[in-house]
Structure 1
Amino acid sequence: MFQVYIVENDVNLNHLFSLYLQKEGFNITSFIDGQKAFEYIDKCPHIWIVDSSLPDIDGYQILSEVKEKYPRIPVILMSERNSGTDRVIGLEMGCDDYLPKPFLPKELVIRVRKMLERTYGGGPASRRTLIYHIKPYMIDENKRIACTDSNIVKLTSKEFDLLLLFIKNPLRTFSRDQILKYIWGQDYFGSDRSVDDLVRRLRKRMKYLRIESVYGYGYRMLNNN
């Protein structure tokens, strides 16, 4: 399920937008002040919807911070200042779409859905294959990000590749040689101890994953209940 963050200080509009998006099946987190939203930038939602005119923090500040840290996460900017200049400023700062107020909530839903399809792949089937939930983690294959509810898990490229191998093949046992060839490639001739070190690092970073050692052979990941 896609995580959508809405930053809108008008309580009625905030509730209305959230309601329409929830009916479409999105998981909504809404904020009525920019400062609180600013604290959640590192929680890696799939899309931000931000009002440019907030009472405490300018919406452009949130846009700038999101794009600096996570340039691939789309941001839709809403604004009552319906001028070409504001639109240009927003686009120059990296917003992916611009909605001048007033607009129909259904238009917002359509724009969000289209933006998510362009960013993460079209259609429900492809979305299901890109997002994995393994308690307490959410793994986004497209963005190559692993998160808990409160933090991003920092993984190297090979650690993330190993994670994907395990979560796409639960309960399957892989030999060290199979993992070595999958992660490092067929032409790699290093020691299979590299696999042990990689598994050790992944276990350390994601301590709630149930990665089981198979003595003298390799590893498998058990289901997280």
Structure 2
Amino acid sequence: MNDYRILIVDDEEDLCEILKYNLEIEGFFVDTANSAEEALKLDLTTYKLILLDVMMGEISGFSMARMLKKEKKTAEIPIVFITAKDTENDTITGFNLGADDYISKPFSLREVIARIKAVLRRTSTPKKADVVSTELVYKTLVIDTEKKRVSIDGKAIALTKKEFEILVLLLQNKERVLSREEILSSVWSDEVYVLDRTIDVNITRLRKKIDKYGKCIVTRLGYGYCFETNQTAHS
């Protein structure tokens, strides 16, 4: 992510500078604009993410977001709103406009950085439709990603939609620890409020259903989950 360019659009100059400084420490290239009008004069296609305030001058953050989403060349740029407008209606409006996240002021810098990184991880990987297009196989565990079927030793395994998507995600990322945040972003991407506990419950059910391969789904306390192939699955 160190070569990613981020644009911060906020009429609070001090806040822009603070965010710019801390994001640059993380290795990002950062530009700032103190109004939507100023931002719209830039070549926005060069940015991997736009951090956008809602309440600004004549063109609000919501209005700017609408403009970007209407243009084909900027429609796919991730937008993270940062704003003091934190009512449920404001949040819903932000997400309906296509925002990838919505952060309410006041916020901690660590939270902003973590959520920016999460959005970039999610949006910088191929679309789900592109990734889930072939058969995934681990020993006798077979996932038909087109027909949405799972089998072990040739026997069909009934999984819920979320369990299926978690298993696909873990197998596509074998040996890599996926944080709860990454799993939430991928599997529950269209749902605004989901508890971490929801993931744990689905993982527990999934382990039981895939029987001898359940032990391959390993918990890394404080980090997340990983599908480890060195966990021997006995027949």
TM normalised by structure 1 equals 0.52
Equivalent runs, 1:186-225 vs 2, <5 Å? none
The aligned counterpart of 2:41 is 39
Deviation at 1:40, TM superposition (A): 2.0
Deviation by residue 1:84-127 (Cα, 9 ceiling, x = unmatched): 010011111111100011101111111111111111139xxxxx
The aligned counterpart of 1:5 is 7
Confirm or deny: 8 A CA contact 1:41 1:66 kept in the other structure.
Answer: no
Query: CA–CA distance in 2 between the matches of 1:35 and 1:54?
Result: 10
Residue number among 94, 99, 102 corresponding to 2:98 in the alignment: 94
Query: CA–CA distance in 1 between the matches of 2:44 and 2:70?
Result: 11
SS at structure 1 position matched to 2:30 = strand
Which segments of structure 1 move beyond 4 Å, counting only runs of 4 or more? Answer: none
SS at structure 1 position matched to 2:31 = strand
Name the aligned partner's letter for residue 19 of structure 2: F
The aligned counterpart of 1:143 is none
The aligned counterpart of 2:84 is 80
The aligned counterpart of 2:120 is 116
Residue number among 36, 39, 59 corresponding to 2:61 in the alignment: 59
Deviation by residue 1:57-105 (Cα, 9 ceiling, x = unmatched): 1111111122222232110011111100100111111111000111011
Confirm or deny: 8 A CA contact 1:47 1:75 kept in the other structure.
Answer: yes
TM normalised by structure 2 equals 0.50
Confirm or deny: 8 A CA contact 1:74 1:95 kept in the other structure.
Answer: yes
Name the aligned partner's letter for residue 56 of structure 1: E
Query: CA–CA distance in 2 between the matches of 1:27 and 1:119?
Result: 18
Deviation by residue 1:36-60 (Cα, 9 ceiling, x = unmatched): 1022254331000000001231111
Change over 3 Å in CA distance of 1:44–1:65 after alignment to 2: farther
SS at structure 2 position matched to 1:39 = coil
Pick 1 or 2: higher relative contact order, CA cutoff 8 A, min separation 6. 1
Unaligned stretches of 5+ residues in structure 1: 123-225
Query: CA–CA distance in 2 between the matches of 1:14 and 1:65?
Result: 22
Unaligned stretches of 5+ residues in structure 2: 127-235
